[in-house]
Amino acid sequence: MKSVTVVGSGIIGLTSARSLQEAGFQVKLIAKEKFANTLSHKVGAIWFPFEIAPKEKTNIWATQSYTRYLKDLASPSGVSVIPFINAYTTDSNTDWKEQLPKGKVREATKAELPKGMDQALYAEVPLIEPRLYLPYLFNQFISNGGKFEIGFIASLEEMADLDNLVVNCTGLGAKELCQDDELYPIRGQILRCEKMDSVSFADPTKKGALRYIINRSTDTVIGGTDYENDWSQEVNPDDTKLILNRAKDSGIKEEPKILEELVGLRPKRTAVRFEYDPEFKNVFHNYGHGGAGYTVAWGCALELADLLKGG
C-alpha cells in the first residue's frame, strides 16, 4: 500500500486525507494544531462560491463537493440542506448554478430578497456545521487506519522529506512556507448568536461590505468582513457594530444575542494552487481556497486522489 502524508488539519487537509484513504493510500496527517483550532472550525459554513478562482475549475470542484455532501446526509455528520439566497451582479460568477440538479436553483422573488438586495439566486444548498463535520471527518480518518501527529513544518525541504508523497494543505501558512507572494489574507469577523428566525443569505456584491446570515441547527452566524491583507486576528468592536447594523439594514427585526465573536483569516490567492511543486517533485500543493474552502474541498480532494493514484 502506498503511503502519503497530508500537512494541515482544516477542511482541505481532512477531505484530502479521507479521499486518499478511499483511493487505497495509507495516510498520515501532520498539523501544527488539531482541527478545532483551525480557521475551518470558526466559519459558517455553507456551500457557495466566494472569493475563489479559476472559475473553470472551481465550478467543477464545487459541483463535486455538493454531490459528496449529499452522501453525508444519511449520517449524523452535521450536514443538512437548507434554502439560501445568494445576491449577484452582472460581474458575478453564477456558472455553478448550471451544474446543480434541476429545480435546486431559481431566481429569488422580490418578496424573498432581504432589504438592500437587488437580485439573487434562491438555492437549496448544503450547510456544513464545522463543530460537527470536522470531528466526523477526523474520526472517520482514524477509524480507517489514519495516523495523526502534531508537528510544525518549517520549510518545503523539510516537508518533502516527510514521505514519498506529501500534500500541502497549510492554507495561509503556505505563504511563508512556500514564499508565495500571491497568497494573502482576507480578514473575516463574524458573530455566533443564539438561533434566529431568519432567512439564510449572503450578499458579497459590494467589496468591503460583505453581509450574510447562516442559520444552523443550534445557532446563527452573522457576518462579516472581507478586509484584504489585514493580518489582525483580534476582535474589533467597531466591526461588531458594523455587522449588527448591516443585519438590521437587511430587515432583521429581532435583536441578535451574541454568544461569541470570532475572527479568521481566509487564504486568498489569484487562483487556487493545485499542482506539484516544480522543485520538490513529491510535494503536491492544495491551498489558497479563499472563503470557499467548504464549497470546493471535496472536489479538490477527489481530483487529488485520482492524480496521485495515477502516479
Q: pLDDT of 167-213, one tens digit each? A: 999 999 999 999 999 999 999 999 999 999 989 999 999 888 899 99
CATH code where residue 97 lies? 3.40.50.720
* Coil, helix or strand at residue 33: coil
Q: What is the 3-state secondary structure (H, E, C) of 105-130?
A: EEECCCCCCCCCCCCEEEEEEEEECH
pLDDT band of residue 51 (cuts 50, 70, 90) is: low
Strand partners, 216: none
| 49 has a pLDDT exceeding 80 | no
**Which is it for the CA torsion 140, 78, 73, 288, positive or negative?**
negative
pLDDT in tens, 98-114: 777 888 899 999 999 99
- Tell me the C-alpha distance between 188 and 186, whole Å: 6
Number of structural domains found in the chain: 1
Q: Range of 103's domain?
A: 3-309
Which range, of 12-16, 165-169, 173-177, 290-294, averages the lowest pLDDT?
290-294
- Tell me the C-alpha distance between 152 and 235, whole Å: 26
- Tell me the C-alpha distance between 199 and 146, whole Å: 39
